[in-house]
Amino acid sequence: MKTIAIPVYNEEKSIEKTICSITPQINKEDEIFVVASGCTDKTIPILKRLSKKDRRVKILIQKNREGKASAINLIFKKSKGSIIIFTDGDVLLDKNAIKNLIKKMNKDIGAISGRNMPYKEDNFFDKLQSFSWKILNNKKIKEQKKEKFFALNGYLFALKKGIINHLDTKNLIEDALIGWKIRKKGYSTIYEPNAKVYIKAPQNLKDYLNQKKRIRLGWWQMTKQGVNPVKNENKGFIKYLFTDLYAWPYLFLELYCIIASYIDFKRRKIYWKQIKSSKI
């Protein structure tokens, strides 16, 4: 049995599309476990309607917004599947994503990560995000070959239930932390580029920077786990500086986010802002 786990906060625009991209890929005995945390829009009524149509859709409501890590902790406790597949409420899974994601799962592997794909490539921010994911994909493939891959993809990853049972609720990059903890427990974590998930990029500079700064701040948090964010950086993008137009804005914006997030980390300023322009 599998659990598809979706922590959500105000996803009325996209949650039905996300679930509809999942249901054809799972069995009758599987479950889609949605934790709605502090939702103030129509997300919960939509979920209740979907759960009446399909009993596999199960809802747990948190009255207050408690953060993604808190929702994940609830999923660890309440889910019934031996494999938990995490995704988000504003993405679309490729039609073979789940099958490709878990096909290599065995007793030695603790978690498997999917691949980010652009939902569209119509404007500057779409293409900038597409470039960054191309770089990320190359980085993960290289780490995989060296057996050093651990930073799971929060948009789509699978793990065996019971290896990790609790997360620090203040952590901002739960996917990387889960992968790191799984490796520490002696299991392998692998990257499966054929398990694809489609994501809409932030559509303006403010949302783009807020998203990237939060991720960078999460990496600075990971220093407490023994991870060096600078050493973990992918320098492979440098070769694209003279071949790809989007390499330069990517570089400058990344440098800004690294510095700004480090300052916030030192000030102990922790934040999570919803990126509304990235809803499908």
User: Cβ contacts of residue 120 below 8 Å, gap of 6+?
Assistant: 126, 200
Cα distance between residue 144 and residue 234, in whole Å: 13
Q: State residue 239's pLDDT score.
A: 77
Across the chain, mean pLDDT equals 91
Helices 124-145/247-266 angle, 10° precision = 80
Q: Which of 111, 114, 82 is nearest to 188 (CA)?
A: 111
DSSP 8-state code for residue 104: T
Checking if the pLDDT of 238 tops 80, the result is no
Out of 80-84, 161-165, 225-229, which region has the weakest mean confidence (pLDDT)? 225-229
Checking if the pLDDT of 234 tops 70, the result is no
Q: What is the pTM of this model?
A: 0.92
User: Cβ contacts of residue 28 below 8 Å, gap of 6+?
Assistant: 56
Checking if the pLDDT of 230 tops 70, the result is no
State the number of CA atoms in the 13 A half-sphere of 12 facing the CB. 9
Cα distance between residue 242 and residue 248, in whole Å: 9
Count of CB atoms within 10 A of residue 84's CB?
Answer: 24
Checking if the pLDDT of 258 tops 80, the result is yes
Out of 13-22, 101-110, 168-177, which region has the weakest mean confidence (pLDDT)? 168-177
Q: What is the mean pLDDT of residues 76-104?
A: 95
DSSP 8-state code for residue 201: P
State the number of CA atoms in the 13 A half-sphere of 190 facing the CB. 19
Cα distance between residue 72 and residue 76, in whole Å: 6
The DSSP bridge partners found for residue 112 are 158, 190
pLDDT band with cut points at 50, 70 and 90 for residue 60: very high
